[in-house]
Structure 1
Amino acid sequence: MKVLVLSLGFTVEYLVRIISTRGTSDVEKIIIFTSFGEDPLSRKRAEDTINYAKDYLSKAGLNYEIKALDISKSFLNVVLQIAETLKKYNEMEIYILGGMRLFALSLYYYGLVAKSLNKNVKVILYTEDMSLIGELPLTIPEKLKDEEIKILKVIENQKSLKDIAKSLNKSISTISKQMDSLEENKLVECQKIGNLKQCKITELGKILLQLEDKNV
């Protein structure tokens, strides 16, 4: 069972649309992070939104928790507050939508750290108009080896393992092992077409090539 994690700004619409679109049959709990503004108007708007959210979740019969974060603290302290709330959960979907940029950055950074500690976590991004951007990457790739750079440069366009091996004057078995590692790190995507395994570089792979910026 999963825990859904969301940030809540001044409207409950995002919450309702996520839950109604995604469904909750496999959801153990919904945890919502919010904050109260310092000025009376912002505080009143936040309180009204929380009350609407509570009413909606209660009527839907969903188990939920609403946690107000103290955003007057440092960035890492906000992340710490999130970590303390989520510490007992191992399977989470974090939705970044609405709310403040600080929430978005804090939740994403928490997701990166949680993933590195083997938590089963996904971070999913929506735009302000609720258009789905998709799942955000939660791994930081290691520095590329020279041989990996050569492979990525060769497969900027989709190629078979046989063609890659021929271009680099390597055996297919050697290239296959290197491709498995690159695919695991999401730097290439491979699929079998007929009897041939075809691979192409991913956007993440292209980013790393740009950052390497050296002749190999």
Structure 2
Amino acid sequence: MTVLIFNVGFTAEYVIRAISRRSIDGVNKIFLVAMESKDDYSQRRSSEAITAILDFLRIAGVTDVDVIKVNVDWSFDAILEYVSERIGGYDDYEFHLVGGTRMTLLALYYLALLLSAMPGVKVKAIAYDEAMTSSKELPLRVPSVPTKEKLDVLEAIGAGTTVTGLARALNKSPSTVSLQLTSLKEEGLITAEREGRKKDVEITPLGRAVLNLMKKAVKEKVGSATSPQGGSTRV
């Protein structure tokens, strides 16, 4: 059974529309996470939104709902600790990032990242546009920093190639390249599809992002190690 987690702001509409789109099939429990403000006006609007969501869920037949209120003065780390204490212990989560404050939204996404690294736990994080007309499932894997050899493979892939083409371009054996490609695929940085005896390899958007950042970081590192006169400097 699935646990749904929503961040709640001053309106119930976003959460209700997200639940309606998703349905409550297979749902075991729902958590509503809201920021507890200091002023009476904000507290009243938040309370009204939560009450409306609870009424909707009660009519829909969902009774196992917990409301988690975090203090507006808490640090990001304190929010992580408190919310994790309340939501931990399940093995199937869906985080629906629909409203609330930026701090709670980022905290929930960070918790989804942490949970995704735990064995045996299924996690989804879903973000919605402002009009609630479309949603996107967010990536939950942060790839490890590629070695120079793997970075060379990523760069050599370009717009797409084959294992044989990569081996030839990098002057490596096909078996060595295949091992590196397997690792890159597991990290989500490439796709590798076999067509007959040929395996086509393409870099993913995540792989291209990593390549862009790594190449820039390497260039800046090289540049910072060189003096304006062109000589090397020691740090």
TM-score strictly above 0.5: yes
Partner of 2:223: none
Structure 1: state its 5+ residue gaps. none
Would you say 1:138 and 2:140 are equivalent positions?
Answer: yes
Would you say 1:76 and 2:77 are equivalent positions?
Answer: yes
Measured in 1, the distance between the counterparts of 2:177 and 2:133 equals 39
Cα deviation per residue 1:60-96 (whole Å; 9 max; x = unaligned)? Answer: 0013222222232111101111101111212101111
Measured in 1, the distance between the counterparts of 2:136 and 2:43 equals 31
Q: Is the 8 A contact 2:35 2:100 kept in 1?
A: no
Partner of 2:13: 13
Report the residue type matching 1:27 in the other structure. Answer: V
What's the Cα RMSD here? 1.7
Partner of 2:46: 46
Q: Is the 8 A contact 1:71 1:78 kept in 2?
A: no
Structure 2: state its 5+ residue gaps. 220-235
Cα deviation per residue 1:156-213 (whole Å; 9 max; x = unaligned)? Answer: 2111222112211222222222111101001112223344221111122122222222
Measured in 2, the distance between the counterparts of 1:17 and 1:194 equals 46
Report how far residue 133 of structure 1 moved.
4.8
Partner of 2:130: 128
Cα deviation per residue 1:115-169 (whole Å; 9 max; x = unaligned)? Answer: 2333322211112222445222222222211211111011121112221122112
Please state whether the residue corresponding to 1:148 is helix, strand or coil. Answer: helix
Partner of 1:189: 191
Please state whether the residue corresponding to 2:36 is helix, strand or coil. Answer: coil
Partner of 1:106: 107
Partner of 1:59: 59
Identity %: 33
Measured in 2, the distance between the counterparts of 1:115 and 1:71 equals 27
Measured in 1, the distance between the counterparts of 2:137 and 2:179 equals 27
Partner of 1:170: 172
Measured in 1, the distance between the counterparts of 2:127 and 2:41 equals 28
Please state whether the residue corresponding to 2:208 is helix, strand or coil. Answer: helix
Q: Is the 8 A contact 1:98 1:128 kept in 2?
A: no
**TM-score, normalised by the number of residues in structure 2:** 0.85
List structure 1 runs of 4+ shifted beyond 3 angstroms.
Answer: none
Q: Is the 8 A contact 1:161 1:176 kept in 2?
A: yes
Q: Is the 8 A contact 1:2 1:93 kept in 2?
A: yes
Q: Is the 8 A contact 1:10 1:45 kept in 2?
A: yes
Report the residue type matching 1:41 in the other structure. Answer: Y
Measured in 1, the distance between the counterparts of 2:49 and 2:31 equals 15
Measured in 1, the distance between the counterparts of 2:85 and 2:129 equals 27
Partner of 2:224: none
Measured in 2, the distance between the counterparts of 1:181 and 1:12 equals 44
Q: Is the 8 A contact 1:3 1:89 kept in 2?
A: yes
Q: How many residues align?
A: 215
Q: Is the 8 A contact 2:191 2:201 kept in 1?
A: yes
